Structures are given as structure tokens and as C-alpha cells.
Structure 1
């Protein structure tokens, strides 16, 4: 069985955990009433996870370009191959679009992103309340799209493992 490389597996699972954590943190933090220290802490953590996902996604994309993934199983129907390839492209697009939209939304809100509480990421532009109002739903819906795509990705991997009984999932397991 051909497998993904160990760095590809590590990046995949790190990014997966961070996406789930950032998504969950995002849902929790917006439901905290008022402006509390806990809410501020969660917003910071959420931003840190987003910046980390963005950096790891860039590293993963570079790794993938230099290290081709294993081919799909020969038994896999062509429509599933195309669907898997398209889904992977969309996952990569959203791994960049979601954190970037969050950064732009934060910038428009006039709130700095201070990565790990140490390094302030420069603002792309001055605070802009109108742009903030536009970017908030953009960030939300990109997140919902990513969540739906991640759910489909996991469901497809489990289907391949338990129904098709092929090695699609095993290729990404350490």
C-alpha cells in the first residue's frame, strides 16, 4: 500500500485538530455575553489557531507540490476520483480563505492580531466599520463551508474504510 509521507501525515493531522479547535472556539466565544477577560482570551486563542493553520497550510501546500500524494485506488470509480480531487482543492482554498478572512475582519474592526501574545501582525489597512460589517458574514460563511467540507471529507474517509474496505484512510494514518 502506498502511503502519504510522514510530514504530510503530521501536517494533515495538526491542521485538522487546529481547524476543529478554532471552529469550536469560534462558536463558543461569540456566545459569551459581554466583553469579559475569558472572551478576550478565547478570541486571542482563536486568532492564534487561525494564523497557525494559515502557516501550516502554506507549508503543507509546498510539501504536497514537492511530494506527490499516493494515487487513488484503481478500484475507485472515476466520479469519486474527480470528487476527491475537487474536495481537496476546495479544502486548500478554504484553509487559506478562512484565516485570511478572519484577519481582514479583525483588521477592519481595528483590533490587532498579536500572535501568541508576542508578535503583532501588521494591519493591512485602517479600521473600517463598513468593511467590518461586510467581512463578518464572509468569515462566518467561509467557516460554515469549511465545516461542511470537513464533515464530507471525514464521512468519505470512513465510507472508504468501513464500506469499500480499501486503503484510502489507512494511507493517511501513522
Structure 2
């Protein structure tokens, strides 16, 4: 086994990338949990408030992923461990690409669904987000299915992503997990 590499600036993510990563992780897990909770609530003021919060968080997630992508395109990530197989490298790149794709597609599908169902999103109750579609109940229902399915695919990928990070840490003994953790103060 290779000894654990010494962490240096060059093999760590930037503080901005780390912060965006963990903020998105918390937001995605929270959005998923709230989505499951609100799905079968009876129509009430509480349900409407939860839906508003969910939509606000979804818009925020969309904005954050755009910031995250901009950061990612202007700041190279640390290299993958040298002992990773080519297959594992390809899987890592595909997995990350799918995560980004879904972090964009899910809020867009929610926005399209809300538009088709005739429920405009008003960000934080202040900024109206324009509808992308005219009201169409059948399309709204189809988009709800798309939105739900994409969310379950995302959660499966998030679980796989976390599992891979733990595998790297506990079995491969490399720095893949620790370079995405905030720096510890000594």
C-alpha cells in the first residue's frame, strides 16, 4: 500500500469549491427530504408554504450550481490519485458530469412543472420568476414524473459519490475525501 500523501495546496480544492460543495450537499439532501415530506400533504396553507420554500431552495440550488460551474471552469481541480485505474478515472468523470447535469436539470424540470401547472415561482416572495410554459395540466403531470425520477437518480448518484469518497479514504488510503474537507486548524 502507498503511504498517505501529504496534503498540500496543489492537491486540495479551494476553500470556495469546498464551501460550494458542502452547501450544495446540504441543500440537495434537504430539498429531497422536503420533497418527500410535502408530496402527500393535504392541500392547506402549510402545504403551500412548504412548496414555496422548496421552490425558493430549488432556485437557490440552481443559482449555486451556476456559480459552482463558473468556479470549476476557472479553477482546475486537484489531480486524481496516481494509483487510480483508467476505468475508475472515467467513472469519476462520468459521475461528476452526471451530478452537475442533474443539479441543472432538476431545478429546470421543477420550474417547467410549476409553469405548466400554472403556479408561478416568486423567489422569496419578492422576485417573480417568469413561467417558461403556458398552463397545461397533462404536461405539468408528466413534468412532475420527470422531476421526481431525476431526483431519485440524483440521490442514488449522491449515495454512490459518498460511497466512493469513503472507499478512497478507508480502503485506498488516499486523499480524495480529505481534500474536499475544510482545513483543520492546528
State TM-score, norm by structure 1: 0.97
Counterpart in the other structure of 1:24:
33
- Match for residue 130 of structure 2 among 118, 122, 134: 122
Instruction: Establish whether residue 160 from structure 1 lines up as the match of residue 174 from structure 2.
Output: no
Report the Cα offset of residue 125 of structure 1. 2.3
Aligned length in residues: 173
43, 59, 63: which one pairs with 2:71?
63
Cα root mean square deviation, aligned? 0.8
* 2:115 aligned residue: 107
Q: Determine helix, strand or coil for the equivalent of 1:65.
A: helix
Find the partner of 1:74 among 76, 82, 100.
82
For residues 163 and 115 of structure 1, what CA distance do their matches in structure 2 show? 44
Is 1:5 paired with 2:8?
no
Structure 1 residue 60: Cα displacement: 0.4
SS of 1:120's partner is strand
- Tell me how far apart the structure 2 counterparts of residues 142 and 136 of structure 1 sit (CA, whole Å): 10
Moved beyond 6 Å, runs of 4+: none
Residue in structure 2 matched with residue 47 of structure 1 by the alignment? 55
Deviation at 1:31, TM superposition (A): 2.2
The structure number with the bigger radius of gyration is: 2
Deviation of 1:78 after TM superposition, in Å, equals 1.4
Tell me how far apart the structure 2 counterparts of residues 125 and 103 of structure 1 sit (CA, whole Å): 9
**How many Å separate the matches in 1 of 2:107 and 2:18?**
21
Aligned residue number for residue 91 of structure 2 = 83
**Once the 2 structures are TM-superposed, how far is the Cα of residue 48 of structure 1 from its aligned partner?**
0.9
C-alpha displacement of 1:117:
1.2
Structure 1 Cα separation of the partners of residues 53 and 133 of structure 2: 22
**Uncovered stretches (5+) of structure 2, i.e. residues with no partner:** 1-6
- Provide structure 1 residue ranges, at least 5 long, that are not aligned to the other structure: none
